[in-house]
Amino acid sequence: MTTRILQRSVPDNWQSLFPDLHPVLARIYASRKLVSSAELESGLERLPPPQMMKGMDKAVELLATAVEEGKRILVVGDFDADGATSTAVALKALRAMGASDVHFLVPNRFEYGYGLTPEIVAVAAEKAPDVIVTVDNGIASLDGVEAAKALGMQVVVTDHHLPGQVLPNADAIVNPNQPGCTFPSRAMAGVGVIFYVMMALRAALRVSGWFERRSLAVPNLAKLLDIVALGTVADVVPLDHVNRILVSQGLARIRSGHCCAGISALLEVAGRRRDHIVAADMGFAVGPRLNAAGRLQDMSIGIQCLLTDDPQQAQELAKELDTLNRERRSIEAEMQQQAMHHLQALQLEASDQLPSGLCLFHEEWHQGVIGILASRIKERFHRPVIAFAMSDETYVKGSARSVTGFHIRDGLDAVATRYPNLIQKFGGHAMAAGLSIKRNSLEDFVCAFDEEVKRHLSEEDLRGSVWSDGSLAPTDLKLDLAESLRNAGPWGQGFPEPVFDGEFQLLNRRIVGEKHLKLQLRANDSLPPIDAIAFNTVDDDWPVGVSHVKLAYKLDVNLYRDKRNLQLMVEHIEPA
């Protein structure tokens, strides 16, 4: 299966847009559709005001009354990293603002599934809350909201997922994706939404004189931005300007040592230096460890890790999360092997034989890991993938991951419209979604899903591709440019880290860790050798005597024993 290196387009006037920046960085920003230096500013004063979010005033009014009257508030979260961080932000902020009776509840994915279901409302009722606040869920919980209101509870929904045609009958809904909301960012994660609600609530309580009457210090909610950054990156939402500000501010706090005990402990068990982290560390090191609790056991472990102020307890919880993540990796590796055996048995390995929309199912697969499995298979075969596992004797649960050009949530909506009753329930985003269908409907769904994907993606769309920001002059292959690019983010979904391409002389290559290719390269004879590494890549099928290679790569800073060196992180490699 060949991989193409495609060039990002750059506007003709890119040099004039950022005249004070290094030309490479100016070109990169212009290719990401930035048009002024103002879009690079990351101060909190650049955030749009909370009141621009539809439903904010009503939500704040209800929550302010609950705080001032000492009502019992129950935060109902989700079992992924966004849900965990959202829950932690809500509890920390409400308690800092003087709320005296605040608790949280996170559904166990294996017992209750996602969202504010009637079943989880019944569990919530045991805590007798006056107000339920959903975080990172609720916009699709029509029956759950009705069940809560029937029991006399008020419900505030805070969410970021795409709404259906009917909204829940909540007392207040704050969701930038709901109809009629004019907030400039629709890309916020759930943790960003609840952070905004808490900022607006603090402002209202300050105006009402609450802090003064109770002799409370007005809390500095910026202290929560490390958690906001973690949830935003881990949920892989597009890093538009609003999200870049939130993440940039959170990373700055972490680097300066001003982060919660839980994130500090998670970074330590992941082997990451706090003063050197970037957004990718949140996505690939901290986020997976936090997610492991919800995937394999109970996300309450992850939430407690974020809530605790005790460094020793944080360390113990972080180690428990690290152990769960190792178990998750083992399960995932076995499932991935089973998936590949399944594809080989069907003799569909050739890209022209694979379905455009790929569905995989195994009765023994773990519900908590199918999302990661879908991501891995998608990365290998460059097409939308849904991995299914048994939910109970009647239903299977699917986790879907998509590629550029196919909005997976809208695709599922189209299938549900064309084939009523085929999908029991679904929800999600452009690139990730979840669904539930009857086991005996799986074959019909597989055909319907492939049919829908074919309507949107051509064979050319399904080829593997790496987007490049062009070639670098050999004189640009320096540590100072790598440092500049590292600090020029935060990079992530929708604002990708720069990738370059070019040919290099191959001086040496060897396999390390059984599956990674360690390289020594030279750009030209007048420059010193450069180290590079291609993860999960081997050279077994290369011809003998390869002396030059073609790469797509990132400039990276390798930190070892406090010494910084230039290193190329290889995204694609082939003999030249």
For 538: left if phi > 0, alpha if psi spans -120 to 50, otherwise beta; the answer is: beta
One domain for residues 239 and 163: yes
One domain for residues 476 and 453: no
Q: What is the pLDDT of residue 336?
A: 87
Q: Which among 225, 236, 229, 245 has a CA at the least distance from the CA of 48?
A: 245
Quick check: is 537 in a domain?
Answer: yes
User: How does the average pLDDT of the chain come out, rounded?
Assistant: 93
Quick check: is 339 in a domain?
Answer: no
Q: What is the pLDDT of residue 460?
A: 87
Q: What is the pLDDT of residue 3?
A: 81
One domain for residues 471 and 438: no
Q: What is the pLDDT of residue 464?
A: 85
**What does the H/E/C string look like for 98-143?**
CCCCEEEECCCCCCCCCCCCHHHHHHHHCCCCCEEEEECCCCCCHH
Task: Please tell me which residue, 533 or 113, carries the higher pLDDT value.
Answer: 533
Total count of domains within the chain: 3
| Residues in CB range of 261: below 8 A, 6 or more apart | 308, 309, 310, 311, 313, 314
Lowest-pLDDT range, 69-83, 191-205, 254-268, 512-526?
A: 512-526
pLDDT > 60? residue 532: yes
Domain's final residue, options 462, 478, 509: 462
CATH number of the domain at 165, please: 3.90.1640.30
One domain for residues 205 and 281: yes
For 64-109, write each residue's pLDDT tens digit: 999 999 999 999 999 899 999 999 999 999 999 999 999 999 987 7
**Phi, psi angles (nearest 5°) of residue 32:** -95, 20
One domain for residues 442 and 472: no
One domain for residues 312 and 212: yes
For 220-269, write each residue's pLDDT tens digit: 999 999 999 999 999 989 999 999 999 999 999 999 999 999 999 999 99
Amino acid symbol at 373: L
In angstroms, the CA 207 to CA 204 distance is 5
For 369-391, write each residue's pLDDT tens digit: 999 899 989 988 899 999 999 99
In angstroms, the CA 168 to CA 172 distance is 9
Strand partners, 73: 102, 131
One domain for residues 475 and 388: no
Q: Which among 315, 312, 308 has a CA at the least distance from the CA of 289?
A: 315
Quick check: is 21 in a domain?
Answer: no
Domain's final residue, options 306, 322, 338: 322
Quick check: is 162 in a domain?
Answer: yes
The number of beta carbons lying within 10 Å of the beta carbon of residue 213 is 11
The predicted model gives 483-507 an average pLDDT of 95
The whole domain housing 500 covers 3-8+466-575
pTM (two decimals): 0.90
Domain's final residue, options 462, 486, 508: 462
Lowest-pLDDT range, 189-203, 332-346, 421-435, 447-461?
A: 332-346
One domain for residues 51 and 183: yes
One domain for residues 255 and 394: no
Quick check: is 405 in a domain?
Answer: yes
One domain for residues 300 and 361: no
Q: What is the pLDDT of residue 538?
A: 84
pLDDT > 90? residue 498: yes
CATH number of the domain at 356, please: 3.10.310.30
Quick check: is 375 in a domain?
Answer: yes
Q: Beta strand pairing status for 425-428 and 3-7?
A: unpaired
Q: How confident is the model at residue 351 (pLDDT cuts 50, 70, 90)?
A: very low
One domain for residues 471 and 550: yes
| Residues in CB range of 485: below 8 A, 6 or more apart | 24, 25, 28, 497, 498, 555
Quick check: is 30 in a domain?
Answer: no
In angstroms, the CA 573 to CA 532 distance is 11
Q: What is the DSSP letter of 554?
A: E
Asked if residues 466 and 502 have their Cβ atoms less than 8 Å apart, the reply is no
H/E element, 560: strand 548-560
Q: What is the DSSP letter of 379?
A: H
Quick check: is 416 in a domain?
Answer: yes
One domain for residues 444 and 422: yes
Q: Is 438 strand, coil or helix?
A: strand
Strand partners, 517: 511, 534
